[in-house]
A and B are shown apart, each in its own frame.
Chain A
Amino acid sequence: AQSVTQLGSHVSVSEGALVLLRCNYSSSVPPYLFWYVQYPNQGLQLLLKYTTGATLVKGINGFEAEFKKSETSFHLTKPSAHMSDAAEYFCAVTSNSGGSNYKLTFGKGTLLTVNP
């Protein structure tokens, strides 16, 4: 079984401030981890992913995330928020264990607002 917990359903930051969105996962096998972004009335867009290898992964739009196995975390960060970053962010997990590879488990999402 696998699950994702996103701490904070709503995060508000000022433009230019650090963005930190928290994600903790639970998985009985080595996980694949993802962050997706969803703008209003649009589909989900992949920001970045961790599969194997380097634990610090860089994604689009200046975002990055670090896989910490000991803390079962995959927090998303961006050094300087931009107004265009305002959106819903979903953390997701799947695992390389045959059939479960087909099922992506999403967290409940974190709404990021950016204040001018």
Chain B
Amino acid sequence: DTEVTQTPKHLVMGMTNKKSLKCEQHMGHRAMYWYKQKAKKPPELMFVYSYEKLSINESVPSRFSPECPNSSLLNLHLHALQPEDSALYLCASTQTVTGELFFGEGSRLTVL
């Protein structure tokens, strides 16, 4: 069983909608990640939060807005997305010593 929980599992939105993806972990990990994964491709890093502060932004468009309300929660706010943003969005967390990531099941996003 995954210990990183993502909701919703599926999301369909129009280009003018505002929606959010949520991620929760209770393993005490202090680094949390958002990845984007297109079909038949490896995950692409979007954001990293370390100790609740944004530490890495991989030049992601501003229509994606991350938020880390506390050490267990990570949100990704979505606004004015494009159809090409349709993908599987994966959340992950880690203990920073070894760097291994624990992934959630992902949120499948479709932008119409």
Contacts and interface: CB of A to CB of B under 8 A. Distances in A.
B105 A43 contact: yes
A43 B42 contact: no
A32 B99 contact: yes
Contacts of A41: 88, 106, 108
A73 to B, nearest CB: 19
Interface in A42-65: 42-46, 49, 51
A105 to B, nearest CB: 9
Interface in A69-116: 88, 90, 94, 96, 99, 101-104, 106-109, 111
Interface residues of A, number: 25
Contacts, number: 63
B104 interface: yes
Given A106-B42, A108-B42, A109-B42, A46 B48 contact: no
Interface of A: 32, 34, 36, 41-46, 49, 51, 88, 90, 94, 96, 99, 101-104, 106-109, 111
A42 B42 contact: no
B31 interface: yes
CB-based closest 4 A-B pairs:
A106-B42, A43-B103, A94-B99, A44-B103
B105 A102 contact: no
A32 B101 contact: no
B43 A106 contact: yes
Given A106-B42, A109-B40, 7 more contacts: A41-B88, A43-B90, A43-B103, A49-B100, A101-B96, A102-B31, A102-B50
Contacts of B97: 101
B56 interface: yes
Nearest to B99: A94
Q: Which of A32, A43, A96, A103 has the most CB of B within 10 A?
A: A43
B59 interface: no
Interface in B76-107: 88, 90, 92, 94, 96-106
B96 A42 contact: no
A51 B96 CA distance: 13
